[in-house]
Amino acid sequence: MIDTHCHLDFDHFDEDREQVIARALEAGLTAMITIGVDLATSQNAIALAEAHDAVYATVGIHPNNVASAGLTLEETIGRLRDLAAHPKVVAIGECGLDYYWDKAPRDQQAEWFTAQLDLCSELAMPVVIHNRESTDDVLAVLQAWREGDDRPLPGVLHSFSGTWDEGAQAAAMGFFLGITGPITFKNASRNRRIAANLPADHMLIETDAPFLTPHPHRGERNEPAYVRFVAERIAGVRGESTEAVAEQTTRNARRLFRLGDAG
């Protein structure tokens, strides 16, 4: 299994980070992708990837951080370009639109999102997309971007929480959908419908650790080892074995992020 989205550098893990990574490997994970949300966490993600064979990194600016980036957009893109040259950086992101927290003007969020998508095109790298209460606008931005970038594997909509129709639209554009812990919650019928109907070759599993902890650990800190609970619930709604879901999502992650033999 591969946890395609976690935040191992966050201070929630400061006291036991090495043990968390060890538990993930013991649980059968072959890789974890730790996600940058600003320049500092992007650098931290690279440092963790350098220190651990099974850890890979992304670099990007989260929409909640664009107003506090401290550099101009052009300067920030230049820094991301340099960071993305590291051999263990596998994607640009987490970037996108967040209308829940609304920590930056929406036009600024869109400008920074589009600039990072353009960097993906320049570097031929996939994108990791954050979308919260903004799915219509995210899909509109992606549709415009895809008119000039028709690579077959453009990226993933992380922790997808839109409707089935929106998910199908994203998949039709070539995107993967990341499925996280909420699929295990009692009231998550929409998440389960998406997991049940999504083409198998467009699905990834994630934890978003330390957040979105799945049942039966809901209320605790999340960690990559718990991605197996996501795989188990997907298997249940699809009528498949957990092993089949783990194998398929591992193949998908390897294809999208070009992880070679990881898995």
How much is the average pLDDT of 182-209? 97
Residue 48 predicted with pLDDT over 60? yes
- Residue spans of the domains in the chain: they are 2-257
240, 216 Cβ separation under 8 angstroms: no
The highest-level CATH class for domain 2-257 is: alpha beta
Binning pLDDT at 50, 70 and 90, where does residue 261 land? low
According to DSSP, residue 213 is labeled: P
Binning pLDDT at 50, 70 and 90, where does residue 262 land? low
HEC secondary structure over 28-83: CCCEEEECCCCHHHHHHHHHHHHHCCCEEEEECCCHHHHHHCCCCHHHHHHHHHHH
% the chain with pLDDT above 90: 97
pLDDT tens-digit map of 86-117? 999 999 999 999 999 989 999 999 999 999 99
Residue 45 predicted with pLDDT over 70? yes
56, 90 Cβ separation under 8 angstroms: yes
5, 158 Cβ separation under 8 angstroms: yes
Residue 182 predicted with pLDDT over 60? yes
Read off the amino acid at residue 215. H
pLDDT tens-digit map of 238-252? 999 999 999 999 999
pLDDT tens-digit map of 1-11? 999 999 999 99
From residue 207, alpha-carbon distances to 80, 124, 228 in Å are: 24, 26, 9
From residue 67, alpha-carbon distances to 43, 102, 108, 124, 208 in Å are: 19, 10, 8, 27, 23
Residue 178 predicted with pLDDT over 70? yes
Residue 260 predicted with pLDDT over 90? no
How far is it, in rounded angstroms, from Cα 240 to Cα 232? 9
DSSP string, 103-120: -S-HHHHHHHHHHHHHHH
